[in-house]
Amino acid sequence: MSSSPPVPQSSREGRGLSERGGAGARSQIESGSSRRFDSGCLWAGLASLQVPPSCSIVRALHHHKLGNAVRPSLQQGLQQAFLHSLASYRIFQKAAPFDRRATSLAWHPTHPSTLAVGSKGGDIMLWNFGIKDKPTFIKGIGAGGSITGLKFNPLDTNQFFTSSMEGTTRLQDFKGNTLRVFTSSGTCNFWFCSLDVSARSRMVVTGDNVGHVILLNMDGRELWNLRMHKKKVTHVALNPCCDWFLATASVDQTVKIWDLRQVRGKSSFLHSLPHSHPVNAACFSPDGAQLLTTDQKSELRVYSASQWDCPPSLIPHPHRHFQHLTPIKATWHPRYNLIVVGRYPDPNFKSCTPHELRTIDVFDGHSGKMMYQLYDPESSGIISLNEFNPMGDTLASVMGYHILIWSQEEAGMRT
């Protein structure tokens, strides 16, 4: 049944850190401001960019907003402009609606100021932070109901899919109704840890805590149920451009790549990518050309989807696993070749410095170079989940019980 939690708290002052560690200016942002999304922040970084005479910057920006490819030189300029804009990013909205930590989040695919967040107690909040109305709140079962995966239904965005420790993968609406149960373990010993959905092929894929991966169509018919890993499947991801390619990550220290058209058994994977530690996540880049993995210790990896056998790019990064912390997972920016991940300073990490901050780190996906660090001194906890909205201009973060919304200072203050 739906109810309403307290209105999200007003924002606190924030600061960004460049790769050299400098602090940005502080500011106070009003909560509940109406917001307009445009490409104004991109113009500054294009001033020094040399553009071929036959190419229009205005046209390039238009195609960029539509999600179309642009010339490499312009794409690089747009990415540099975006990185420059991060200096003005601040937390302008904050909410703490749950009595247990947040465990999953998903942006609405077409509404840039709406997201859904799930908690360890099974609660789910639908939050449009662009309006002053209270969020929609669906109460969970409490202990044992942790939402482990959350995706909007691409065929009807008034609905969403969840996987949970309750032992189900299901389709729900925001009135609290269960519309279809796709999988149900019927026991507390087995639960579902991850899910993904394809609109094009109308498939749902989910993984459980003992290594099984289940593929179903959206009518709920099971296509196969196979034990693909020796231990818990922490993440499943369909390639956004070729959705018959599936990546599965596991605490058995492997990531496996599958062609769904050729799956015959646990040994029918295309590639197995061994890791040194258990793996929290494996995410395809928006163009489907790269795979980003996050282990449970101190390493991010970037694989080329056309050269699985080649050594991946390795990015040392502290994000160690802790039982009472939502697992840290790195994600891609939706428009640029940038990686976003929360930092959990580790005294045993080789480059750890005294009093190291718990920042949000932004890396270049090609070079692995640290490009920027976001930090708010009044929200200084460990940030486990970070995801930009589909437009790429607003960042949602999960920090324990808190959901943080970051955006440009100027955008947050517009009326």
pLDDT grade for 50, boundaries at 50, 70 and 90: very low
* 267-278 tens-digit pLDDT: 999 999 999 999
Q: How many CA atoms lie within 13 A of 321 on its CB side?
A: 13
What mean pLDDT is predicted for residues 47-76?
59
β-sheet bridge partners, residue 159 = 173
Q: Give the total residue count for the chain.
A: 415
Give the per-residue pLDDT at 180: 97
pLDDT at 61: 58
DSSP track, 35-96: ----SHHHHGGGTT----TT--HHHHHHHHHTT----HHHHHHHHHHHHHHGGGEEEEEEE-
Domains in the chain, please, with CATH? Answer: 71-408 (2.130.10.10)
Per the model's pLDDT, the better-predicted residue between 11 and 207 turns out to be 207
Could you tell me which residues are beta bridge partners of residue 219? Answer: none
With cut-offs at 50, 70 and 90, classify the pLDDT of residue 262: very high
pLDDT of 60? 60
The pLDDT assigned to 46 comes to: 40
Structure letter (DSSP) for residue 158: T
- How does residue 72 score in pLDDT terms, banded at 50, 70 and 90? confident
Entry pTM: 0.84
The pLDDT tens digits of the residues spanning 322-369 come to 989 999 999 999 999 999 999 999 998 988 888 899 999 999 999 999
pLDDT at 120: 97
For residue 66, what pLDDT is reported? 64
Written as six digits, the tokens of 414 are 């517009």
Distance CA(17)–CA(374), nearest Å, equals 6
Please check the confidence at residue 150 and state whether its pLDDT lies above 70: yes
4: pLDDT strictly greater than 80: no
Average pLDDT, the chain: 86
Express as a percent the part of the chain with pLDDT over 90: 74
Give me the pLDDT at residue 411, please: 53
Q: How far is CA 40 from CA 46, 328, 355, in A?
A: 11, 32, 36
pLDDT category of residue 26 using cuts at 50, 70 and 90: very low
Rounded to whole angstroms, how far apart are CA atoms 125 and 5? 9
Q: Which of 213-222, 283-292, 298-307, 348-357 has the lowest mean pLDDT?
A: 348-357
Whether pLDDT at 237 is above 60 = yes
